[in-house]
Amino acid sequence: MPGSPELLRRLSLAARAPALDAKALALIATQSPELELLERHRAHELAALCISPAAIEYLRQPDETLIDADLRWLASADCTVLPSSSPAYPPQLRESPSAPPVLFVLGSVVALSEPQIAMVGSRNATAGGLSTARRFAANFARMGLCITSGLALGIDAASHEGALEGGGLTIAVLGHGLDTLYPRQHRALAARIAASGALVSEFPPGTPPLPGNFPQRNRIIAGLAHGTVVVEAAQDSGSLITARLAGLAGREVFAVPGSILNPMVRGCHELVRQGAKLIECVDDVLMELKISLSTQLLAEATTTPSNTGKPGGALDKEYKILLDALAFEPASVDSLIERTGLNSESIASMLLILELDGHVAPHPGGRYSRMAGR
Q: Which residues of 140-179 are buried (b: 16+ CB within 10 A; e: fewer)?
A: bbbbbbbbbbbbbebbbbbbbbbbbbbebbbbbbbbbbbb
CA distance 125 to 158: 10
Looking at the fold, whether 48 and 162 belong to one and the same domain comes out as no
Residues 67 and 142 in one domain: no
Domain count, the chain: 3
User: Among residues 80, 107, 134, which one ends one of the domains?
Assistant: 107
- Is 194 within a domain? yes
Please give the pLDDT value at position 141. Answer: 94
Q: Residue 340 belongs to what domain range?
A: 304-370
**Are 155 and 125 a contacting pair, CB within 8 Å?**
yes
In whole angstroms, what is the distance from residue 311 CA to residue 112 CA? 32
Same domain, 119 and 258: yes
Domain's final residue, options 52, 86, 107: 107
Summarize pLDDT for 302-350 with one digit per residue, the tens: 433 333 333 334 467 778 888 888 876 788 888 888 888 888 777 887 8
> Does the pTM of the predicted model rise above 0.75?
yes
Considering the domain boundaries, does residue 299 fall inside one? no
Domain end, chosen from 246, 264, 294, is at 294
Whether residues 357 and 274 share a domain: the answer is no
Round to whole Å and give the CA distance between 190 and 183.
Answer: 10
At 5, phi and psi to the nearest 5?
-55, -35
pLDDT of residue 371: 78
Specify the pLDDT at position 314: 47
- Quick one: pLDDT at residue 278? 96
Q: What angle do CA 114, 116, 118 make, to 5 degrees?
A: 150
Kindly give the parts of the chain with pLDDT less than 70. Answer: 1-3, 290-315, 328, 372-374
